[in-house]
Amino acid sequence: MKTNKQITRISTQGVEKITDQLAIESEFELYVNGNQEYSFLCSPENIKYLVIGYIFVHKKIKSAKNITSFHIKNNKIFVDLISSSTATKPNNHEITFTIAQILKAMDELNQKGQIFHATGCAHIAGLLNEHDIICHFEDISRHNAIYKTLGYAIQHNIPLWSCALLLSCRITSSVIDMIAETPLNVLCSQSAVSSLAVEKSIKTGKSVLGFIRHNRMSLYTGNHRIIYN
């Protein structure tokens, strides 16, 4: 979401009053089973996906069926959960992607960043399956953009093992920590990858690609999932 604001623009050509577009930032407090859990500073849309992604990453749910109620009032989010009675089955599935698929998808993702293109103040994340980008979300926080993307997958029963996570942001160790114990194994970014992210992706068996732009990319780990010959 965006809003307009009158600002003063200063340059070597002079000073002028203009209308600028700003990304909207809001604060939401999350309550889980009546207890305050977390405060989100986020873009105020797709809040349910944001919350589902957050509670999934933090191992509070295994599927959307664990959520018994969800409502928002005065920027407070109230979620009631039940514990899962079924054990998680080991994931033995694998997925591969071609270089052409990844380049095409990253180019498409960049074109979808409406808030970023208008304000320069948002990150974008999306999920690529073997055919297309199946969802994408923007947020002022890269972590929140990822939470929203994962939340969409959980809500719609999309198997994460069959997808690649597409990112506009840097892949740092905190991003790897978010997806370390999820079935999502392929991370692709148009930006840089940190050294600790590479170390953690090796330990957790993830495939990580960065600097995906201008018909090239850097493959750091998990080469067996990328077809480049």
CATH number (domain holding residue 32): 3.10.20.10
Give the model confidence (pLDDT) of 18-63 as tens digits: 999 899 999 999 999 999 999 999 999 999 999 999 999 999 999 9
Residues 67 and 107 in one domain: no
Which amino acid type is present at position 59? Answer: K
Residue 117: its pLDDT value, please? 80
For residue 127, is it within any domain? yes
Please, which pLDDT band fits residue 184 given cuts at 50, 70 and 90?
very high
Residues 103 and 211 in one domain: yes
Select the more confidently predicted residue: 121 or 58.
58
Structure tokens at 187: 């991370």
Residues 154 and 48 in one domain: no
> Which of 81-90, 111-120, 121-130, 146-155 is predicted least confidently?
81-90
For residue 180, is it within any domain? yes
Residues 182 and 221 in one domain: yes
CB atoms within 10 A of CB 148: 28
Round to whole Å and give the CA distance between 165 and 156.
Answer: 16
Which uninterrupted H or E stretch holds 165?
Answer: strand 164-167
How wide is the angle at C-alpha 160 spanned by C-alphas 154 and 162, nearest 5°? 140
The CATH number of the domain holding residue 146 is: 3.40.140.10
Residues 132 and 64 in one domain: no
Residues 106 and 210 in one domain: yes
DSSP secondary structure code for residue 229 in this structure: -
For residue 1, is it within any domain? no
Which uninterrupted H or E stretch holds 47?
Answer: helix 47-57
Residues 44 and 115 in one domain: no
User: Domain of 141?
Assistant: 97-227
Number of domains in the chain: 2
On the CB side of 194, how many CA atoms lie within 13 Å of its CA? 12
Residues 146 and 206 in one domain: yes
DSSP assignment string, 73-91: ETTEEEEEE----SPPPP-
Residue 55: its pLDDT value, please? 97
